[in-house]
Amino acid sequence: MIATIQYNSKKLKVDLEKPLDISIPVKGSGTNVNAWYIGPPKIEAEVFDGDTISVKKGASVNFNTITFNPHSHGTHTEMAGHITEEVHSINKHLKQFFFLAEVITVAPEKLGEDSVISAKQLQFAIGNKKRDAIVVRTIPNTSDKKTKQYSHTNWTYFQEEAIKLLVRKGVRHLLVDLPSVDREEDGGELRGHKAFWNYHGQLRKDATITEFIYVSNEIDDGMYLLNIQIAPFENDATPSKPILYKVMN
């Protein structure tokens, strides 16, 4: 179904029958993507009075309890409450769910023993385009991103000036195929997160970072309508399902 959507001052023509899911699901398995030094998520049938509540075990329904951490186990969207003493909930502060997005592909640069994304790279990829959201795909882009165990790997991260560039450009939603925008071991500085949410000034409470996405190689760089679908957790972060729709005009 081709739909024409009024977005701010633009009329966007999108095909709603061709959604592009860039999320990584949570599964109760050791092959679930993982970071931050904890075990895999668990999805297990509850047991009451010695009875396992599973259709396979003779119950009338399946009744699973899920134990996971949104920051470690799959695609998640977080807001400034992730790094503040005061509690801020993504469910209360994210009130808009459709955004004009640009998908860009970046080859990280070597910096000593690190792999980084620089402001120069982002400027080259984005140019003067005005977008609410930027979706960053790093290369090489292999399917093992969906199952990789990232702990102790010193993953690619964004330099602080790269994040500040995005803020100056008015980007309010950053989506990355990494466990974090910051270095795995940075002594708790979290320069990227703090720059994006303006930690030392007026907090950008409606700005979000979505981590652990996977952008298939079949998805071209360019402009999309982005729908960030979240679960209604009263928490700084929630599992999420970002969906892209190609803008046809």
Tell me how far apart the alpha carbons of residues 68 and 233 are, in angstroms, rounded to a whole number: 13
Tell me how far apart the alpha carbons of residues 61 and 218 are, in angstroms, rounded to a whole number: 38
The two tokens of residue 30 are 């050791």
Q: Looking at residue 249, what is its pLDDT?
A: 82
Q: Looking at residue 7, what is its pLDDT?
A: 82
8 Å CB contact between 62 and 54: yes
CATH superfamily label, 2-26+69-246: Putative cyclase (3.50.30.50)
The two tokens of residue 222 are 């360019």
DSSP H or E run through 111 = strand 109-111
Task: Report residue 3's pLDDT band, with 50, 70 and 90 as the boundaries.
Answer: confident
- For the stretch 77-130, pLDDT in tens is 999 999 999 999 999 999 999 999 999 999 999 999 999 999 999 999 999 999
Average pLDDT over residues 16-25: 96
Query: Could you tell me the residue ranges of all domains in the chain?
Result: 2-26+69-246
Task: Report residue 2's pLDDT band, with 50, 70 and 90 as the boundaries.
Answer: confident
% of the chain at pLDDT higher than 90:
94
- Our CA angle for 30, 34, 38, nearest 5°, is 85
Read off the pTM. 0.96
- For the stretch 31-65, pLDDT in tens is 999 999 999 999 999 999 999 999 999 999 999 99
Q: Looking at residue 232, what is its pLDDT?
A: 97
Give the strand pairing for 133-138 and 10-15.
unpaired
Task: Report residue 172's pLDDT band, with 50, 70 and 90 as the boundaries.
Answer: very high
CA 99 from centroid of its chain's CA atoms: 14
Tell me how far apart the alpha carbons of residues 85 and 80 are, in angstroms, rounded to a whole number: 10
Burial class (CB in 10 A: 0-12, 13-18, 19+), 111: exposed
Mean pLDDT score of the chain: 96
Average pLDDT over residues 163-182: 98
Q: Taking 90 as the threshold, does the pLDDT of residue 8 lie above it?
A: no
